[in-house]
Structure 1
Amino acid sequence: MACSRKCLSLELLSFWCLISYVQARPNAEAMALLRWKDTLNQSSLQSWTLELSNGNLTSHGHSHCKWFGVSCNKDGSIESINLQGELFGGNLSNLDLSSFPSLVSLNLSDNNLRGDIPPQLGLLSKLAYLNLSMNYLSGFLPVSLANLTQISLLYMGNNLISGELDQRLFSNWTKLQYLELQNNNFTGMIPPEIGHLQNLKELALACNRFHGVIPHEIGNIKRLKALALHLNYLSGPVPPSFGNLSELTILFLQQNELSGPFPHSLLSCEKLNDLRLFENQLSSTVPKGLANLSLYEVHLSVNNFSGPLPEFCSSDHLTPLNEFFLFTTAWKMHTRIMQSRDYHNAEREA
């Protein structure tokens, strides 16, 4: 009998501990957001208030789930924070990211955020969507982000992030489909390990300071649809492995220091509709087969090409404007990755 009572007491204790944990976690999340709010311009966060009783949530429970930009799972734990374009300034170091173990989506883009990217982001093991683009974030890209094994979309373009890309970042991102790091201050070479991202559909590293050759391993990313490496200091030839990119529709390599012959392997990219190679040091002839692709735009000017031109004029897909510079108005797929460094800097200075 004594043993049964003791077992029952232990079961009740475990139950109440579980209830206390479930109640305490949303409370900790709410308090973490409130502490962060105190460091920000609060004009857009007026709904972020709690009814407290003796320091605890009232019986109404989980009121933070109704806050602006916040959504919760069925247990009342925050799974999404979306504050895009609220322009509240501040920085991320004041946000206790360890308080959000259930967070799946974090969108803080276009908010004038400053300072470093906190390594604590790597603690968000369930995070699938991370958008910190169009801010003033600086410092390095933390290698702790390699711990985001569920990440599918990672947008950090249009910031002031510097340093080299650590090869370890690409070891666990097996679910990553969209990687945008354009318009930053990254340096060094593009790591060959980026070819491990087998599910990647869009890769934007444009408008940085990358140098060296384009890693041929990018040609292993068979699902890649859009590749933007323009406005860097990349040299050497266009990798022949790019011919393996059968899903590729957009290829921006312009305004680099690429050399060698026209990449004939691109003729295997039958879905390619926007090709930009202008302002490089490419040479040889442009293959006639280029006119057989479903191209909407071709920009090949300011290179060292010679010989006859492909008969683009006979193609139903193209409208010739000026020599190799051909243009139509199909912009929707790539306006986000086409902002030039000059435009981006002008926006910052305004």
Structure 2
Amino acid sequence: MEFVHESPPMRVVLRPGSSVTAVPGEAERLGLRRVLVVCGPRGAETARAVAAALGDACARLHAEARMHVPVEVADRAVEVARATGADGCVAVGGGSAIGLGKAIALRTGLPLIAVPTTYAGSEMTPVWGLTEHGAKRTGRDPSVLPRSVVYDPELTLTLPVALSVTSGINALAHAAEALYAPDASPLVSLTAEEGVRAMAGALPALAADPGDLEARGRALYAAWLCGAALGATTMGLHHKLCHVLGGTFGLPHAETHTVVLPYVLAHNAPAAPTALTALGRALDADDAPYALWELSSRLGAPRSLAELGLKEADLAVAAGEVAGQAYPNPRKVTAQGVREILRAAYEGDPPPPTYRPNQTER
């Protein structure tokens, strides 16, 4: 057995009420005296509570985060951070807010504290993303990894069930790709499998009772594990597809991950039997791609890219853009293969039962 595994330094706090009780302490622990609090317009009320808890340590609340982090939004946030003399940043919200906090950290070197309100898991990765001229570019830099992450299940109680489900499946996508990543390790595999198992159990429970604080906390725990697994590995075809669909065509992030994931897994299954076996164990299913499709459908998530607003004419454009870029994937990426995935995801029918443990890629 051979592998390399690196665990970046990070402090994690998970408990109800921690967004107002723990964030000031985390800022003080990092020696921060003037922090910029960033969020999106819809998360401003929650962010104001965090800002109030910080008291004099809050330099300003900046509520301009947007999906896929447009570069002009990042530029404006960096200007605000510099103008206020901020010595740190607290990002409160989902992937858009965390992404904006990462953009500030990347450009300024300021330490970041993340307070997630969804299950995206991006707070656990050194991956940043910016969208410019209709294209989303991503990179990895240790400077964007939050120094502290504060998980407060109470903040997710008002997260609509529909968004809770798609956000949770988005996290599952992180774990799924980590299981067949070229730089996976035994610890990553264990983390990813447990993340999938925890999320698959939490989502039906919180869908049945959105006020179930235990289920909400379990989903945050799962998001942490799934994000950490992705943060330690390299993204493949699934994430590249979703970045193109989001950055170029403006499709919503979590919903796109939810729709696309079963079809990418079905496509990659012949070349990644060990990963699919692990996913099957976590989902208690023989056919992991179908199990994920059935789970998201049962919980009311969107089923097709057409439902998300993608036009049929966009399929060929997206396929060409995805196939024209190099990135690791267990199965060779071809334009034809990507078109087949996109066509299936566009139509939304159940993924084909392609997985067999003894199959190998032809």
Normalised TM-score (structure 2): 0.29
Higher helix content, 1 or 2: 2
- Structure with greater Cα Rg: 1
More relative contact order in 1 or in 2 (CA 8 Å, sep 6+)? 2
